[in-house]
């Protein structure tokens, strides 16, 4: 297949725009490969490894655009280059807008047009980004610096100058921020609210803001610092300034901090600053140890726990303790352990699990079987894979339904866990009016006891559960899920998913 190369001297396009154009070209089945890159030394090296670097491209400058197309015919390649030209000129038109006015190409061109601008978002190759950030700070702007590969000494210089001027520099390599509801960089759509985050971690900040939203609360501000902010050289300048801002912000009732463990001196400064914030502060130093912390500072071990603790504190509830002690080591099933035992309070969930097992080629006995061939002879005794509806008449004579009274299920969990053939115990937890006020909590002691008992006999019983209900239910979905997770259960999103997970475990 012919490989053709074109060069566009002095035409800078960012890598995302170039990827989009390449994707368009590849929709034509006649195009085998299509690559558009700036002719930086690194990119030229990659092209060379792929055998795509010809003489002209090899001599190109970093400010030149290289286009390489492998097509089934020269005509197809030519058509591709025409498409590239059209895309590039369309992009230029879009950039310049429909007015006659030229698009601003620098900070000094753009600033006079936006008199009230107070923040600059900078996305440029790392070698230039630091200088742009410095210009912005000198012009009195806060900075969101998306670019990476900015030299550390430039970061320190820009941040120190900004600090002296009372300006915030988020980044370099700052992936995410939400300032007063405005998303910068990668950011999720979350409601506004009373929890403010600061993060030296882009996706970490995305996750805590998204989980906060999923848990029903909202975000005042989410301030990114860039990952190196917590290094000793930078000293946490941005993180500490962000804490000042969140403390002063009346909309922020709880502050969350997400970061890898900072350098020791930075850690001390952050904890000391958090201790006198006058608001509850939740910290998550991913991978770090438990540290001594003032009373208002709550430490968590993962992102979900961090968000959940912030939500609980905002609601004036005690946050669930985040577990620092290393968990039990992952032990395999003993040779005898082969089967799934489902103990359901909802009859439909028992049926749904049977369908899910059947659809993966696994048959299960049941007291409410899909067909008579799989009817469990004696509901009091499980055999092979068994899925039980504990709300069926076999189990409810003279007793309340298991959605109200956990005693039948508690007793049966002990029986199944003691059976050397049991590998996985599958549970539903149904919330809502008229049900048990804490159905997960009612099962947890039995779950813990079952795990300990099996372990003492050299076995490992895995619990897989799922919750039916909403955040608004009296029992609160997320709180019930947290109890199950805390007891070491794996959680499925639905009865079908929990059953699939159980099958994957016993198949493995």
Binding to a copy of itself in span 263-292, by CB under 8 A: 286-287
Taking the C-alpha atoms of residue 436 and residue 433, their distance in angstroms, rounded to an integer, is: 8
Q: Which of 110, 432, 445, 458 binds a copy of itself (CB under 8 A)?
A: 432
Q: Which of 348, 363, 374, 383 binds a copy of itself (CB under 8 A)?
A: 348
DSSP string, 238-291: HHHHHHHHHHH-TT--EEEEEESPPPHHHHHHHHHHHHTSSS-EEEEETTPPP-
Q: What is the dihedral of CA 467, 469, 472, 476, to 10 degrees?
A: -20
Q: Which of 1, 2, 12, 42 binds a copy of itself (CB under 8 A)?
A: 42
User: SS in 3 state form for 210-243?
Assistant: HHHHHCCCCEEEEEECCHHHHCCCCCCHHHHHHH
Binding to a copy of itself in span 43-102, by CB under 8 A: 43, 46
Kindly report the backbone phi and psi dihedral angles of residue 7, in degrees, each rounded to the nearest multiple of 5, phi listed first. Answer: -120, 135
Binding to a copy of itself in span 176-235, by CB under 8 A: 176, 183, 185-190, 201-204, 206-207, 210-211, 213-214, 227
- Nearest Cα to 464, choosing from 508, 506, 407, 415? 506
- Report how far Cα 334 is from the mean position of its chain's Cα atoms: 34
Q: Which of 147, 351, 408, 451 binds a copy of itself (CB under 8 A)?
A: 351
Taking the C-alpha atoms of residue 487 and residue 345, their distance in angstroms, rounded to an integer, is: 19
Please state whether 488 falls in left (phi above 0), alpha (psi between -120 and 50) or beta: left
Beta bridge partners of 68: 5, 35
The distance of closest approach from Cβ of residue 126 to a copy of itself in the complex, given in angstroms and rounded to an integer, is 10
If one asks whether residue 333 binds a copy of itself (CB under 8 A), the answer comes out as yes
Collect all residues with Cβ–Cβ distance below 8 Å to 418 and sequence separation of at least 6. Answer: 453, 454
Q: Which of 27, 98, 99, 329 binds a copy of itself (CB under 8 A)?
A: 329
The distance of closest approach from Cβ of residue 492 to a copy of itself in the complex, given in angstroms and rounded to an integer, is 8
If one asks whether residue 326 binds a copy of itself (CB under 8 A), the answer comes out as yes
If one asks whether residue 296 binds a copy of itself (CB under 8 A), the answer comes out as no
The distance of closest approach from Cβ of residue 429 to a copy of itself in the complex, given in angstroms and rounded to an integer, is 11
Q: Which of 24, 30, 40, 374 binds a copy of itself (CB under 8 A)?
A: 40
Binding to a copy of itself in span 121-150, by CB under 8 A: 148-149
The pairing of strands 176-179 and 182-185 is: antiparallel
**Other residues' Cβ atoms within 10 Å of the Cβ of residue 341:** 27
Q: How many residues belong to the site for a copy of itself (CB under 8 A)?
A: 105
If one asks whether residue 507 binds a copy of itself (CB under 8 A), the answer comes out as yes
Is residue 21 within 8 Å of 31, Cβ to Cβ?
Answer: no
DSSP three-state, residue 477? helix
Segment interacting with a copy of itself (CB under 8 A) among 231-239, 360-368, 374-382, 445-453 = 360-368
Is residue 422 within 8 Å of 390, Cβ to Cβ?
Answer: no
The distance of closest approach from Cβ of residue 246 to a copy of itself in the complex, given in angstroms and rounded to an integer, is 20
If one asks whether residue 405 binds a copy of itself (CB under 8 A), the answer comes out as yes
The distance of closest approach from Cβ of residue 170 to a copy of itself in the complex, given in angstroms and rounded to an integer, is 15
Is residue 21 within 8 Å of 84, Cβ to Cβ?
Answer: yes
If one asks whether residue 496 binds a copy of itself (CB under 8 A), the answer comes out as yes
Segment interacting with a copy of itself (CB under 8 A) among 82-90, 243-251, 447-455, 470-478 = 470-478
If one asks whether residue 11 binds a copy of itself (CB under 8 A), the answer comes out as no
Segment interacting with a copy of itself (CB under 8 A) among 85-93, 103-111, 164-172, 329-337 = 329-337
Segment interacting with a copy of itself (CB under 8 A) among 84-92, 112-120, 156-164, 432-440 = 432-440
Segment interacting with a copy of itself (CB under 8 A) among 13-21, 90-98, 101-109, 136-144 = 13-21
In the structure encoding, which two tokens stand for residue 18, read together? 């170039």
Beta bridge partners of 430: 468
Burial 388-419 (b: 16+ CB within 10 A, else e): bbbbbebbeeeeebbbebbebbbebbeebbeb
**Other residues' Cβ atoms within 10 Å of the Cβ of residue 348:** 15
Segment interacting with a copy of itself (CB under 8 A) among 70-78, 132-140, 245-253, 343-351 = 343-351
The distance of closest approach from Cβ of residue 23 to a copy of itself in the complex, given in angstroms and rounded to an integer, is 9
If one asks whether residue 319 binds a copy of itself (CB under 8 A), the answer comes out as no
If one asks whether residue 106 binds a copy of itself (CB under 8 A), the answer comes out as no
If one asks whether residue 428 binds a copy of itself (CB under 8 A), the answer comes out as yes
């Amino acid at each position: 297949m012919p490989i053709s190369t074109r060069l566009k001297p002095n035409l800078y396009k960012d890598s995302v725009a170039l990827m989009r154009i390449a994707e368009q070209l590849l929709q034509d089945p006649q195009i085998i490969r299509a690559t558009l890159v700036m002719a930086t030394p690194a990119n030229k090296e990659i092209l060379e490894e792929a055998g795509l670097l010809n003489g002209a491209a090899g001599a190109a400058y970093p400010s030149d655009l290289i286009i390489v197309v492998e097509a089934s015919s020269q005509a197809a390649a030519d058509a591709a280059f025409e498409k590239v030209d059209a895309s590039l000129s369309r992009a230029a038109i879009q950039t310049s807008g429909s007015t006659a006015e030229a698009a601003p190409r620098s900070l000094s061109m753009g600033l006079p047009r936006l008199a009230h601008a107070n923040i600059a978002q900078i996305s440029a190759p790392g070698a230039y980004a630091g200088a742009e950030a410095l210009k912005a700070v000198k012009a009195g702007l806060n900075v969101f610096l998306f670019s990476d590969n900015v030299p550390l000494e430039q970061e320190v210089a820009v941040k120190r100058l900004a600090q002296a001027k009372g300006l915030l520099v988020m980044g370099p390599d700052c992936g995410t921020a939400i300032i007063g509801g405005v998303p910068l960089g990668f950011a999720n759509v979350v409601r506004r609210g009373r929890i403010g985050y600061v993060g030296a971690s882009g996706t970490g900040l995305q996750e805590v803001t998204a989980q906060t939203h999923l848990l029903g609360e909202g975000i005042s501000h989410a301030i990114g610092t860039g990952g190196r902010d917590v290094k000793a050289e930078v000293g946490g300048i941005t993180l500490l300034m962000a804490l000042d801002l969140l403390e002063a912000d009346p909309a922020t009732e709880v502050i969350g901090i997400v970061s890898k463990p900072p350098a020791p001196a930075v850690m001390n400064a952050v904890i000391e600053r958090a201790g006198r914030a006058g608001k509850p502060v939740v910290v998550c130093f991913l991978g770090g140890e438990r540290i001594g912390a003032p009373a208002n500072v709550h430490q968590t071990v993962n992102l979900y726990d961090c968000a959940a603790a912030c939500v609980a504190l905002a609601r004036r509830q005690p946050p669930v303790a985040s577990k620092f002690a290393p968990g039990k080591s992952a032990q395999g099933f003993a040779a005898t352990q082969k089967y799934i035992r489902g103990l359901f309070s909802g009859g439909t969930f028992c049926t749904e699990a049977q369908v899910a097992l059947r659809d993966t080629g696994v048959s299960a006995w049941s007291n409410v079987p899909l067909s008579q061939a799989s009817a469990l002879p004696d509901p009091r005794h499980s055999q092979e894979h068994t899925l039980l509806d504990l709300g069926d008449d076999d189990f409810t004579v003279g007793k309340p339904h298991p959605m109200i009274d956990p005693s039948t299920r508690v007793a049966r969990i002990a029986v199944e866990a003691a059976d050397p053939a049991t590998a996985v115990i599958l549970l539903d937890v149904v919330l809502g009016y008229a049900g048990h006020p804490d159905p997960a909590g009612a099962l947890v002691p039995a779950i813990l006891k079952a795990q300990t008992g099996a372990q003492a006999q050299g076995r490992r019983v895995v619990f897989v559960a799922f919750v039916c209900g909403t955040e608004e239910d009296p029992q609160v979905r997320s709180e019930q899920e947290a109890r199950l997770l805390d007891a070491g259960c794996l959680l499925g999103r639905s009865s079908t998913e929990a059953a699939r997970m159980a099958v994957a475990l016993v198949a493995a």
